[in-house]
Amino acid sequence: MSPTISRRDVLKSLAMSAAATSVLRVIPAQAAEYAHHMIAAEKAAAPAKNYAPKFFSPHEYKTLQALCQTIIPADADSGGAIEAGAPEFIDLLTSENKDYQRILGGGLLWLDSTCSDRYEKVFLDCSPEQQKEILDQIAYRKSAIANPALDPGVEFFSFLRDMTADGFFTSEIGIKYLGYIGSAYLKEFPGCPPVPEA
């Protein structure tokens, strides 16, 4: 029933149709192969372990990782934001964007200063209860309405939450977690399986 065909079949059939029509500028098999080469080259260029942050200091980066993993943790179904490479993605974009540097760089400093004022420790050195207490406040807009002093923290956390979600849900494990199936070569499109009534 499944119209899925192997990638090899597709490349073969595309190559044949390319041969049949020499005027087509695109040689599909080559084009499809290109993606593979590009990916291989990228993987070779960027070893996953011992990532050296481009923008954040080592301490900031550790804090960033902890926050990302708190926003999207590992659970029984999948790894979390760190396993998905979200901190690397956020660091890369931040290194290229002044606004991100202000919001995220400034936000991390705000978090540590606020924790120091309250708990006499930077965020990472706080107890899990203390960390939860501050995060439960900056994770909701209503906190900033009640206490305007929390506004920078709320803005920071909201931005980081979006970027962490971006980093996680565009990763291989995040896409698998969502259950997206596609970007395939199909001979025909099967249409919709039965939809339950609302």
Partner 1 sequence: MPQVVRSPKVYDVCIIGSGAAGGTAAKILTEGGLNVVMVEAGPPLNPQKDFKEHVWPYQLPHRGAGIGGKASDNFSEFLAPNGSWEIEGEPYTIAEGSRFRWFRSRIVGGRTNHWGRIALRFAPVDFKSRSTDGMGDDWPITYEDVAPYYDKVESYIGVFGTKENVPSAPDGIFMPPPKPRCTETIVKKACDKLNITCIPSRLAIITQPHNGRPPCHYCAQCGRGCVSASNFSSSQVMIPYAEKTGRFTLLTNAMAREIVVGKDGKAQAVSYIDKLTRTEKKIYAKAFVVGASACESARLLLNSKSTVFADGLANSSGVIGRYLTDSVGSSGGGVFPQLAKVPPHNHDGVGGMHMYMPWWKFDRKNDFLRGYHIEFGGGRSMPGVGEFDVLCETVEGYGVSLKQKCRDAYGTYIGFAGRGEMIPNEHSYCEVDPNTADEWGIPVLRFHWQWSDNEIKMARDMQQTFREIVEAAGGTYYSRVMADGPNPYGIEDGGVIIHELGTVRMGNSPKTSALNGYCQAHDVKNLFVTDAASFVTNPDKNPTLTIVALSWRASEYLLDEAKKGNL
Least distance to partner 1, CB of residue 172, Å:
5
Nearer to partner 1, 120 or 195 (CB): 195
Bridge partners of residue 4, in order along the sequence: 186
Please give the residues from 108 up to 127 whose contact with partner 1 meets the rule CB under 8 A: none
Interface stretch with partner 1, choices 57-65, 109-117, 144-152, 185-193 (CB under 8 A): 185-193
Site for partner 1 in 19-58 (CB under 8 A): 20-21, 23-28, 30-32, 34-35, 38-39, 42, 46
Interatomic CA distance for residues 64 and 55, integer angstroms: 12
Amino acid at 149: A
Residue 114 or residue 131: which is nearer to partner 1 going by CB? 131
Burial category of 38 from C-beta neighbours within 10 Å (exposed 0-12, middle 13-18, buried 19 and up):
exposed
Cα–Cα dist 195/36, whole Å: 36
51 within 8 A of 68, measured Cβ to Cβ: no
**Interactions with partner 1, residue window 64-93 (CB under 8 A):** 70-73, 75, 85, 88-89, 92-93
Residues 127-156 that bind partner 1 (CB under 8 A): 135, 139-141
* Residue among 60 and 134 whose Cβ is closer to partner 1: 134
- DSSP assignment string, 45-63: HS-SSS---SSS-HHHHHH
* Closer of 22 and 120 to partner 1 (Cβ): 22
